[in-house]
Structure 1
Amino acid sequence: MDSSQASRQAEPSRNRSRDSTFTLYRFFAVDGTLLYIGVTGTPRARWSHHSKTKDEWRRVDTIKVEHLDSREELEAAEKAAIKAERPLWNLIHNKPTRTVAEVRTLLDQGSWLSVDEVAVLFGASKSVASAWVTRGTALLGGTRPERRESAGRVEVEPGWVASLLLECRKVRSPDYPDGEPGVLANLRHW
């Protein structure tokens, strides 16, 4: 999507000027997945910059904006939104809700795991874990897991995750084939 498409599809959620210097924005994929939450004083310039510097920009389908009254209100709203909504690409304020040990216990009990939990288990980013779940991973010959939706989140069958764990243990290289160096760090403890 280029910046002209972005500005046409942006949907203000308050009745303030689009030229507000305190803009909170959300990027969504075509399937409605929340990709990113950000803030800016110059929305069109910011989105133009994203379109030129971020390969992921092509996944952005819709942008929703919210105009706030102050920088302090904007920063607080961004932090709260990221913590509550857990967008795929945000790293700051987007900490996992479970520890590796807690996720490992869930897996040992045969529980289905969320994409977030798969990311925690492997020490990967949410975007890498999401790619494994949607496209499969080279370690399992491109096999994708069975998925289900539960409480508004995608969950992955435990057998696929366990198989991926077993294959990862066989890998000795610090470079993981799906593009996330150091992804095996959490596995050294098992």
Structure 2
Amino acid sequence: MPETPERTALYRLYDASGRLLYIGITTEPKVRFASHATYKSWWPQVTRKDVSWLEGTWRQALAVEAAAIQDEKPQFNGKHNAPLAPFSAESWSAIDAPPRGKAAALADLVRAEITSGRWLPGMRVPRREDLAAASGVSVGTADLAYRNLEKERLVHSLHGRGTFVT
């Protein structure tokens, strides 16, 4: 998305009882609402739409959206609604393994966080990019580690939402 200032709508969708269903951002609210109406099973519950306009870059709008979702906990937003697994890049171990063993070594570190109970079911685990940077491996290696853990059913990925402890 563009990094130049533009008007972006931050919208909130509510049901008849006033329950917050969803928070999102878009530059074209009518188009976005039409898309939701086509693809979102919860759309028929929407009875009220609140739209406010933000000034700034798309990246800034994404940050505002994430903060609103985390603070207000809408029913159907998943990406920013899960508790985050505790993670500090500064204290994470760098991988010291032969190239073909890096994904397995990284999976072992993540597995240890899960089996120790430090990362609990439902928690969103660190993004592949963050885990890779903290471990000194490529994003592809981090992705392979997560895919291996998915095969073990320790984590599961939801497109556009993140990876979660099962």
TM-score range for the pair, normalised by the shorter chain length: 0.3 to 0.5
Select the structure that is richer in helix: 1
